């Protein structure tokens, strides 16, 4: 039973991440996809027309937005320092 619950949570999380990415501008949604595929950073810079520094900043903003939305959906249990969000 626990395995089914974990699978359900994983599916729900994946669905939420897809939804968040769909709400971003096209460029903002494409960067995490390319990043997960481990596309070379220089290729990404050329593709998005940005410097490596700006690419890093853009990536951080997108990841922070994902974290914020995930925290809203899956709040940290009170008094659980092991699972504290950064």
User: Which residues neighbour 65 within 8 Å (Cβ) at sequence distance 6 or greater?
Assistant: 20, 24
CATH domain 2-75 topology: Arc Repressor Mutant, subunit A (1.10.10)
Please compute Rg for the chain using Cα positions.
16
The string of DSSP letters for 12-52 reads HHHHHHHHHHHHS-HHHHHHHHHHHTT--HHHHHHHHT--H
Percent of the chain scored above 70 by pLDDT? 87
User: Is the pTM above the cut of 0.85?
Assistant: no
What would the pLDDT profile of 18-60 be if each residue is shown by its tens digit?
888 788 777 777 887 787 778 899 998 998 899 999 998 988 9
């Amino acid at each position: 039973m626990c395995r089914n619950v974990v699978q359900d949570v994983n599916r729900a999380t994946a669905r939420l991440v897809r939804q968040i990415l769909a709400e971003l501008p096209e460029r903002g949604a494409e960067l995490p996809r390319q990043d997960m595929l481990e596309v070379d950073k220089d290729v990404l810079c050329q593709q998005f027309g940005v410097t490596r520094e700006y690419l890093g900043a853009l990536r951080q903003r997108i990841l922070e937005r994902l974290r914020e939305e995930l925290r809203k959906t899956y709040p940290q249990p009170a008094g659980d320092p092991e699972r504290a969000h950064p």
